[in-house]
Amino acid sequence: MGYNAERIMTPEGNAHRERSEKIRIKQHTFMGTVWVGAWLFTIGFLHLGFWKGILAIVLWPYYLGLHFSSLAP
């Protein structure tokens, strides 16, 4: 019996057949790449130090908003 199969018992008792299941794999590589690029841009553009760069993993939109809000009149 394979990894992608399930056993189905037929009315004859010990006779059985295997049915394959379809496995769908979704890749979200593009959005992950955009997120990493935005994070690296934030670190470089705002000249963040090491620990602020680590914190920017989650808070990079906050840091950009803080920077650009200080430029507004």
Share of the chain above pLDDT 90, in %: 14
Query: Which of 70, 72, 41 is closest to 61 using CA atoms?
Result: 41
Given a cut of 50, whether residue 1 has pLDDT beyond it is: no
The residue ranges of every structural domain in the chain are 5-69
Given a cut of 70, whether residue 9 has pLDDT beyond it is: no
Give 39-66 pLDDT, tens digit per residue: 899 899 989 899 988 988 888 888 888 8
Share of the chain above pLDDT 70, in %: 74
**For residue 5, which phi and psi values (nearest 5 degrees)?**
-125, 160
Q: How far is CA 67 from CA 9, 55, 58, 64, 71, in A?
A: 65, 16, 16, 5, 7
* pTM of the predicted protein model: 0.51
Rounded distance between C-alpha atoms, residue 70 and residue 41, angstroms = 19
Stretch 18-24: mean pLDDT, rounded? 75
